[in-house]
Each structure stands twice: as C-alpha cells, then as structure tokens.
Chain A
Amino acid sequence: MDFVNALVLLLNYIFVPALTYGSQLAIGAIFVTLIYGILRFANFATGDMMSFGTMVAIFFTWYFQSIGLTLGFLPTALVSIPFAILFMGLYMLIIDKFVFKYYRLNKSPPVQLAMVSIGVMFVTQAVVRIIIGPSDRRFFDGEKFLIRANEFKEMTGLNEGLAIKSTQVITIVVTIILVSTLFWFLNKTKTGKSMKAYSDNEDLALLSGIDPKKIVMITWIIAAILATIGGVLYGLDKSFKPFTYFNNMLPIFAAAIVGGIGNPFGAFLGGYVIAFSEILLTYAYKKFFMYVLPESMEPDGLIQLLSTDYKFAVSFSILVIVLLYRPSGIFKGKIL
C-alpha cells in the first residue's frame, strides 16, 4: 500500500506537472527549431510572438464570453484559437515582408537576422503591453479539475491524492494532436518534404524547382499555429503575463538546442527532457522516502537535490553540458 502511495505521490507532483510543462516547452521548441532550420536564424522574439498570439486569443475569448458562447466544461479559449491563429499568421507575414525578407534576400549572416529579431522582440513586446497591459490575466473558464485530490482519496482509499487539472489534460491532448499532425505534414506531404529539402540544402532544393517563397510562407504559418497554441496552452494552465512569456523563451531555447536545433522531433523530446529534469532535480523527496523506506531509516532532511529557486538554472546547466559534449544536440540536429 505504501508503495502505491509513493507512486501516486510521484505521479501527482512530478509526472503530471512535468508532462504538461514539457508539452508547452515542446511546442515552443518546435517553433524555434523550424524557424532556425528553414529561415536560418535564432529567433529571439519567440516568447513575445507567443504572447502576441495569446493576447489575440484572450480578446476573442472575452468577446465570446460576452455574447454568451461557452463550451460547457471546456474553456472558451479553445474556440478562439483558430481566430487567433488567423491574426497571428497575418502578423507574422507582415513582419516577414517588412523586416526579415530584406535580409533573407540579401543572404545576410544569421547573426544579423538574430539581431533583427531582437528589434522585432522589442516592437512585439511594446505592442502587447500597450494593447493589453503588463498585468497578470486569467482567461480560463469551465471545469477546473478533472479529478480532485479529495475525490481520488475517497475513491481509492489511499493516503495520497491525485489531482488532475483539466488544463493539464487539454495541454497534453492538444499537443499530441498538433505534433502528430505536424510530423505527418512534414514527413508525408509533398510540401512538408520540400520544406525538409530546403532546410537540408537550399541550393539543391532551388535547383529541383522548389519555390522558396511558398516554403517561407508556409513556415511562418506553421510558426503562427505553434506560437498561438503553445501560448494559449501555457496561459490556460498558469496565467497570461507578457513578462513570463518573455522569460519562457530561455527554457524553450534550451529545449530546442538540447534536442538538436533544426530537428523538430529532437525539439519535441527536448521539451520533455528539460521539463522532467527541472522538476526531478528540484523536488523534495522526503515524503517519497517516508513511504518507501522502513520507519527506522526515515530521512531527516528534505532530500532535495537543488532548491526550487534554481529551477531555471537546471535547464540552462543541462544546455551548457550538452553544448560542451554534444554541440549538435542529443538527437543530431544541424552540424555546427
């Protein structure tokens, strides 16, 4: 019985939260990696683009709520995602036309494009803060929990409760659908294959008649889809605050590089690697050992490897270690 309790404890505090957080990171990391692989620059505006998409989704959510449209136990934000994606795609294409296109056609070095993306970061951040303001916003409605800790305890008779928030389930389900569709698109369709070809060798791809304009446009549209959905999922699960979104860019970058930048599948797994290691290393295992070990061997301290303050630092340290020993990432990305 104690063993089951210990398992439920780990499920509740480590596995479910890490899986959710990892999914959110994974979507962002695929976004970074696609831009890097096809447009060939590190996009420092990642976090702010996500917050822009989320902002649009919030406005649509408010509008739907005001006209009385809800999804019952599901959050209304899910309805607003397609509309937000439309806006986001438009925004991305406008930015590309007025900013990135010039440098792409001039074949500027990636560093210059990264600098330009910092300019885009500043502008997007300003737009978001001017329109919606810098404060914390919650836009979640519907049923909050799928399983409450108390109900679970009563149901199973265990000491430990397992609470599963509906946003966690939504995040994981949406991620699975989104990522599998994306991989299907990249690997099976003609357009997806030509994107891969373009990413591998631009000149050869051009020679074989692939239209670069189309590739770039599709990349931005996919990026818009990923940014909006990733941002909305994070905002539903936690809350929407422009500053947090900007900060989330850092673990997202870590996930993309750990997975091997330019490799979407690597980025997907990288998100989970980062999320699980952050949570595993900063969790206090005292209670777990109390269940598993006999009473005489119970630990005194918290059995915490690192204090939770260092949560972000963990992912960055992993990144540094990966860069040191395997610069192309765990799952071979572009050769650096």
Chain B
Amino acid sequence: MRKIKILLISFFLFFIPSISYSLIEVDISRGNLNPLPISVSPLFADKVSNSLLKNDIQIENLGLKIAEVVENNLRQTGLFNPLSRKAFLQKPDIAHLKPRFEDWALIKSQALITGKISYKNEKLKVEFRLWDVLAGREMLALAFTTVPNNWRRVGHIISDKIYERLTGEKGYFDTRIIYVAEEGPKTKRIKKLAIMDQDGFNTKYLTLGNELVLTPRFNPTNQMVTYLSYFKNLPRVYLLDIETGMQEVVGDFPGMTFAPRFSPDGKKIIMSFAKDGNSDIYTMDLENRIVERITNHPSIDTSPSFSPDGKFITFNSDRSGFQQIYIMKNDGKKVKRISFGKGLYGTPVWSPRGDLIAFTKLHKGKFYIGVMRVDGSGERLLTENYYQEAPSWSPNGRVLIFYRETKTDSEGKGFSAKLWSIDLTGYNERQVETLTDASDPSWSSLLSN
C-alpha cells in the first residue's frame, strides 16, 4: 500500500508544472560604420640595432618609421582611427611583452599593435603582435626578416595582415600603382610612365617621355605592364617588363590598337582594334600570339575588361545609339546591355571580387565614377566632378583609384590632373600624392601573397 502511495505521489508530482522561461532573443541588425579606434605603438628596438641601422641606412628610430607607415595605411582606409601616440600610457617595449589592457581601454582603443625590430648580420627582423584590447588577448603575431632597405614594404605587409585580421578581407597596401606622370603646359604635355608604392612613395619613371603614353595596365599575375604608345605615328599597344625594362609592340595590326587590358590569368591581352572608323574587340594570346576577334558589329566597341573568372567580358559600345555598358561571354556570344540610366557610360572595369563593375558616367556635363552590379542593377554614383575618369580597382575590390582634372581659367592656367581614391562607401575620398601631375592609374595585385 505504501508503494502505491509513493507511486501515486511521484506520478502526481510529475504533472506539476515548473516555472521556466524561454531564452530571450534580441536581433541586432544594425551597427555603426565608425572607424575602429586602434593604437599603433612604435616598434621597439634595442640600442645596438638602432645605432647599426643608423650607420647602414641613415635612418634614426626605424621602429617609429615603420609604425608610421602602418598607421598611415590604416588611416587611409577610413575604417580605422589610429589614436595619437601622445595618449599612450605604456612604453613600447613593455607593451610588446604584455600590454596592460586597462591602460589601452582607458584611451578608448579597441585594438593594439606592438612590435620589435632587431638588426643582426645585415638582416632586419621585424616582429609584431595585434591585440584585442577589450577581450584582453592576442589576435595575431608574425615576424619578417628582410634587408633593411625594404623596411617600407615590411610596414605595408604588416598593414595588410592587420587589415585582413580585423576586416575579414585581404589588404591592398603591399601594392604598386602605375600611372602616367604629366609635366608641362597643357598644349605641350610630357607624359611618362611612372610607378610608385600605393602610398605615393618610391616613385620611378619607366619611360623617358619622348613618346606619348596612355592607359597603362598591370598584369594581375606578374610585373608586366601593357600600355598605349605611338609607333610610326599610330597608337599601338605595348608590353613592358618592369624588372628588365624590355618593351615590345603587341601584334601586327594594320590599324590602331588601344584600350589594352590583361586577362585575369595574365596570358592574354584584350584590346580594341580600329579600322575604317569601326572598332571591335580582339584578344591576343601572349604565348602563341594568336589573335581572336571577339565582337563583330558596325558600332564602336571598346574598353573591354574580363571578369575575374575570365568567363565574361564587359565593354562599352554605342550600338544602341548612345555609349552604354554591355557584358558578353568570353567568346563574344550572348551580348547583353546592362546600363540603362541617362547619360553616357564608359570605361567599365570588373571588380576583382566579381560582384561589381566600376564605370565612368557623363551626364549633363558632369563626370561621375560609379559602380553597378554585374546585372546592371544597384547603380551607385560614388563621386561627381568637372572631369574625372579611368577607375581602377584595388586588388581586394574595396577602393577605386581614378584621376581628376581641374578646369583651366580664362588664361589657360590652373590646369592640373591628380590621382584620387574613393572606397565603395563613397565617403572616404582622398587625393593620392604624386610628385607630378598624374593620370590613368592602374593598381597592381598584391606583391606578396
């Protein structure tokens, strides 16, 4: 009988509901796009290394210089806000061993970069650590060994690694930009091919300025450049090896060739070939020099650009009566118009990410740089000005570099052409410093992968 009682009671208890709360869920679908506050502590060097470095490359306090390169790179992105070094409470050497996170959190820093350099046997060793200040832990630690003259590149590589760790996409700092350096009055311009680091340092000239040069484009896989120059008074597409300085004319076309660009694998050049007032798009294989005609239309087809997978080509054509952007398969089939807005569209460039096409638009006397999706939807105009064109993508597809010309006054003075960059948000527009006037920029892919 007792057993039955227990059984009954336990049975009864089973049905008594207990109070329980379901887990509260809150959806956070918005955040801010404010730059991330970051502290770049100067890289610490011991006294011996410092004095040796001063003797060898005549730079005092190299650790600080590298930190400045990193800081400048991060600031230029618009995504980071490097904090003033004056506010730092901890010394670089101690911070590199074990940061006092409270001190860095106090100055509202969310990430911290510390580092150390040493110089031994004419080799420069640079190590750095990236710390998450709020979580109080290390996020990344790497060391590089190189010749001391390469210190700026080390700064760029460190910037790339930090950028990638904090944003989730590859950086674009260890890259170079090729452009046309311009000097002299507008009527008698001297144009030379020039190459520089993406931050405007280490400028070198690749041609002497005897011939007019235009539209240089990097090979995405190596250090080759294709550009337009004049040969026997005809504009022709050239190929140039940056390392050796070797130049050659591409193909033997009975007319003018222009608007060259490499295919994503770097094995082909795609360009326009004009004859008898009609221009069409051609490709040439660089290995076997076989030329292939891609478009065959009585209108002007030009400015071709491959998609990153090489399967599609975007170009502009006036076959509808006005200059508009089209895409087609890489064999010239399935041509489809994608731009339908008011105005003229030109210089389409496929993003390295593959999702967007950048273009120049002319509407009511103003020039715009914009982007649209590959199906033509979501057109966004990023910047507007009196004259600007020729956008070129950063290797991660986040930033566009282009050139902008200013109006001359009534006496023909005041003309200038400068390089500018803008990111996809459209807010972070900056002038890229160059030694001379500059036009037609082209961004290289990352030098180190």
**Binding between chains A and B:** no
A residues contacting B by CB (< 8 A) are: none
B residues contacting A by CB (< 8 A) are: none
